[in-house]
Amino acid sequence: MKSSTSPAAFPKPEIGPEMKGADAVVQCLIREQVDVIFAYPGGASQELHQALARTDKIRVILPRHEQGGSFAAEGYARATGKVGVCMATSGPGATNLVSAIADAFMDSVPLVAITGQVFTKYIGKMAFQETDFYGMTLPIVKHSYLITNVHDLPRIFKEAFHLARSGRPGPVIIDIPKDVQQAKFQPVFPATVEFSNPYIAKEHKATDEELKQVLGLIATAKKPVLYVGGGIISADAHRELKAFAERANLPVATTLMGVGAFPETHPLSMQWFGMHGSAYGNWAVDQCDLLICAGARFDDRITGDTKHFAAHAQIVHIDIDASEHHKNKRAHLAITSDVKHALGRLTELAAAVKFTAPDTKAWHAQIAKWKQDHPFDGKAGFGDSPHILPQEAVAMLYELTKGDAIITTGVGQHQMWAAQFYRFNEPRRYISSLGLGAMGFGYPAAMGAKVACPDKQVIDIDGDGSFVMNVQELATCHIEKIAAKAMILNNQHLGMVVQWEDRFYGSIRGNTILGDEKNIGSPDNPAGLYPDFVKVAAGFGVKGRRVIKKSELKEAIQEMLDHDGPYVLDVIVPYTEHVLPMIPAGKTVKDMLLK
């Protein structure tokens, strides 16, 4: 069974002239409409870089670290839905891609990672800069290729891009020995891909009978909830989700991966729930009698103790990946389907069978009361603190951008505050490492997102610990004129770990202070702040500013937004703030901390 995925510009197979394998790689990328690649050269990938230098159809961005380049490729993919592409040499160059590959696997991001490899005759002999990259990445990829025959190269590239973008998206690696890059051959570029595996070839669409069962469950529910995740965004199903939720009058709670899949300012929105999610979203899921999960996977940050998660609800689970069904939480009705089709068809069937939404006035009234009593912005006005609170900085950024920006984050407290205090009404606006939780993700991801969306404001909301892990990409943005901004919520600590220390370890500091403990910097002692991010940015040719006084915050953020190049805004905040609500790991909603 064949599945055509080739771009419209290349509808038929094409026999090319004789060329090197490296030049064929470039032609494959062009045929897949790749317009940018984040690539760091080395001995085993030099032929590929020479081939890229012979074309003007692909922009090559040189990161200052392979991890930065691979996170940038992810940022590009997450902002657009297109396949992100990164490339590195063999050995340490390849291994520096591993975090991004694992991140793309956890968060279902379409990524193709190309790596150079030592000469075929040296494979397995511990040659200089050799690693078994194919073997070491097997648990964290959708598929892997080690090309040993140059004639396989066009087919493998066509398959790799198809696999990366289709079904449940994910990362694919292509490892290419240097002699394969150098070999000359006459390539045959296929227009289609063909897989013998029936699961890959099959189109997964819910049947009308299955979807009518869902409508039947909704019709008799008193406390229904729609629980949706990143699969909605991957499938470009946010419009179908909104139409169905409105037609059935269902309250919607998203995961962090699903932020923006449903407009957060919509009356039916409960924003996102889980460990640090909305109290009202968590309570609604806990007390619902019908939970319809679409494009999500019941991960531990959502469920806590799975035995007590939605314990009184009938559960419907709609997902393109059948392996997710019953993996973490048993569903009463599991449907393997493209979620865009399922949600769209549910709305159509609701009209066809004259579906009547159940009377859930009391349920909606209860949720509205919870929203009123326990909003995210419990410190509205932020007037109690003499210092700039991190939540305040995010809220001010939201106000000044009017919610019309792409936000990337590192990992930690700032990551949660960004999602809590910036409202997202569109998909692909909140870009964060969520399954893997990789520090250092934020700024390179902003770089990639800005390359993808040059006309949008792209701001990395970051922590000082996370930002410094890939600070070198400021150089890339300066040289490449990529106007990615960074707003650092600088508390001189590993804030999220400190929060756990405060809550569960008697506030004993186990290597969580980033500054000089003898002269720790703070809003009251700015001279001791370390490092000086403004000077660091200046060293990379990037404009920066530090802000300490609350009275200067608004003007400083506006200056960052108005600047026409990359920018670092270092916002000094206290380390004593905690992200709330909080459901401790492995606990239940009943253990939720509200203060």
Q: Say what the pLDDT of residue 2 is.
A: 35
**Residue 356: how many other CB atoms lie within 10 Å:** 11
Inform me whether the pLDDT recorded for 3 exceeds 50. no
Q: Are the beta carbons of 272 and 259 closer than 8 angstroms?
A: yes
DSSP assignment letter at 550: G
1 or 357, greater pLDDT: 357
Q: Which helix (H) or strand (E) holds 21?
A: helix 21-31
pLDDT tens-digit series, residues 154-185: 999 999 999 999 999 999 999 999 999 999 99
Residues paired with 335 in a beta bridge: 318
Question: Which pLDDT band, with edges at 50, 70 and 90, does 6 fall under?
Answer: very low
Q: What is the mean pLDDT of residues 190-201?
A: 79
For the chain, give me the number of helices (H) and strands (E)?
A: 24, 24
Inform me whether the pLDDT recorded for 7 exceeds 60. no
What sections of 152-191 are H helices per DSSP?
153-165, 178-182
**Residue 94: how many other CB atoms lie within 10 Å:** 31
Q: What is the mean pLDDT of residues 521-537?
A: 83
Q: Are the beta carbons of 2 and 192 closer than 8 angstroms?
A: yes
Q: Say what the pLDDT of residue 516 is.
A: 80
Q: What is the mean pLDDT of residues 233-258?
A: 98
pLDDT tens-digit series, residues 345-355: 999 999 998 89
Question: Which pLDDT band, with edges at 50, 70 and 90, does 518 fall under?
Answer: confident
**Residue 565: how many other CB atoms lie within 10 Å:** 14
pLDDT tens-digit series, residues 89-111: 999 999 999 999 999 999 999 99
Q: What is the mean pLDDT of residues 127-152?
A: 97
**Quick one: three-class SS letters along 525-547?**
EHHHCCCCHHHHHHHCCCEEEEE
Residue closest to 172 by CA, chosen among 250, 256, 77 = 77
Q: Are the beta carbons of 586 and 304 closer than 8 angstroms?
A: yes
Residue closest to 87 by CA, chosen among 58, 122, 125 = 58
pLDDT tens-digit series, residues 45-80: 999 999 999 999 999 999 999 999 999 999 999 999
- Which residues neighbour 16 within 8 Å (Cβ) at sequence distance 6 or greater? 24, 27, 186, 187, 188, 189
Q: Which tokens belong to 106?
A: 């956890």
Q: Which residue has the tokens 């220390």?
A: 501
What is the CA angle 268-274-277, rounded to 5? 60
Q: What is the mean pLDDT of residues 479-501?
A: 97
208-373 is classed in which CATH architecture?
3-Layer(aba) Sandwich (3.40)
Inform me whether the pLDDT recorded for 190 exceeds 80. yes
Inform me whether the pLDDT recorded for 265 exceeds 90. yes
Q: Which residue has the tokens 């090319």?
A: 16
Q: Which tokens belong to 61?
A: 């961005």
CATH class of domain segment(s) 2-199: alpha beta
Q: What is the mean pLDDT of residues 475-497?
A: 97
pLDDT tens-digit series, residues 277-303: 999 999 999 999 999 999 999 999 999
Question: Which pLDDT band, with edges at 50, 70 and 90, does 504 fall under?
Answer: very high
HSE (side-chain half, CA atoms, 13 Å) at 347: 17
The residue type found at 353 is: V
Q: Say what the pLDDT of residue 209 is.
A: 97
Q: Say what the pLDDT of residue 196 is.
A: 76
For 171, phi then psi, to 5°, come to -85, 145
- Which residues neighbour 46 within 8 Å (Cβ) at sequence distance 6 or greater? 89, 116, 178
Whether cis (ω within 30° of 0) applies to the bond prior to 566 is no
DSSP three-state, residue 259: coil
pLDDT tens-digit series, residues 575-595: 999 999 999 999 999 999 999
Q: What is the mean pLDDT of residues 310-325?
A: 97
Residue closest to 448 by CA, chosen among 196, 109, 8 = 109
Q: What is the mean pLDDT of residues 514-526?
A: 74
Inform me whether the pLDDT recorded for 379 exceeds 80. no
Could you tell me the end-to-end alpha-carbon distance of the chain, in angstroms, rounded to an integer?
57
Q: Is 185 exposed, middle or buried (0-12, 13-18, 19+ CB in 10 A)?
A: middle
Q: Which helix (H) or strand (E) holds 19?
A: strand 19-20
Q: How far is CA 34 from each of CA 55, 83, 287, 302, 381, rounded to the nearest angstrom? A: 12, 8, 47, 35, 46
Concatenated DSSP letters for 266-317?
A: STTEEEE-STTS-HHHHHHHHH-SEEEEES----HHHHSSGGGTTTTSEEEE
Inform me whether the pLDDT recorded for 308 exceeds 90. yes
Q: What is the mean pLDDT of the chain?
A: 94
Residue closest to 293 by CA, chosen among 323, 265, 330 = 330
Strand order in the sheet with 143-146: 59-61, 36-39, 84-88, 111-117, 171-177, 143-146
Question: Which pLDDT band, with edges at 50, 70 and 90, does 203 fall under?
Answer: confident
For 104, phi then psi, to 5°, come to -65, -35
Tell me, yes or no, if the two domains 208-373 and 390-572 fold the same way. yes
What sections of 408-480 are H helices per DSSP?
413-421, 442-452, 464-467, 473-480
For the annotated catalytic residues, the residue numbers are 66, 128-129, 178, 496
**What fold is seen in the domain 390-572?**
Rossmann fold (3.40.50)
**Quick one: three-class SS letters along 200-251?**
HHCCCCCCHHHHHHHHHHHHCCCCEEEEECHHHHHCCCHHHHHHHHHHHCCC
Q: What is the mean pLDDT of residues 362-391?
A: 85
| Distance separating alpha carbons of residues 471 and 462, to the nearest angstrom | 11
Residues paired with 570 in a beta bridge: 488, 546
13 or 231, greater pLDDT: 231
* Domains of the chain, residue spans: 2-199, 208-373, 390-572
Question: Which pLDDT band, with edges at 50, 70 and 90, does 10 fall under?
Answer: low
Q: Which residue has the tokens 């909603």?
A: 589
Q: Are the beta carbons of 229 and 394 closer than 8 angstroms?
A: no
